[in-house]
A = this chain, B = another copy of it.
C-alpha cells in the first residue's frame, strides 16, 4: 500500500465520515490517525481514534455494532475521509441507526427517528454508553 495523500491535522488526526454504502445514509463522524487508517484498510473493519480515551477504537468492540469497510475515499485536499461502510445495527451509542437523528424543523429541534435498540443492551457488560469521540 503506497502512502496515502492524507493531511492529518496538528494532532495527527483526520475527520472520517461514515456512510452506509448502499442506502447513502450518513451514520456518524469520528476521527482517525494513521494507525487506525492502516488497520481499517488491512482488516476491513473500521477502527477510529478515540479522542476522549486516547486509544484506538475498534467500532463495535463493546457494542457488537461493527462497521465493515467497503471503500475509503479522500477529499480534494486530503483532510477529510469518507468511509463507505456496512453498518451492523446502530451506529450511534444511543441506539439510533445514525448519530444525526435531530433536526431543526420550524425553528425547533426535533428527533426524526427512533432507536433501533436499547443502548443498555448494547453495553450491558461495559461502562455506560457514551460517545467515544
Contact = CB atoms under 8 A, between A and B. Distances in A.
Interface of A: 1-2, 4-5, 15, 17, 19, 23-26, 28-29, 41, 71-77, 79-80, 82, 92-94, 96, 99-105, 107-109, 112, 131, 133
Contacts of A112: 73
**Chain A contact surface mostly:** loop
- Identical chains in the assembly: 2
A29 B2 contact: no
Contact of A76 (B80, B82, B93, B105): B93
B24 A17 contact: no
B29 A104 contact: no
B73 A100 contact: yes
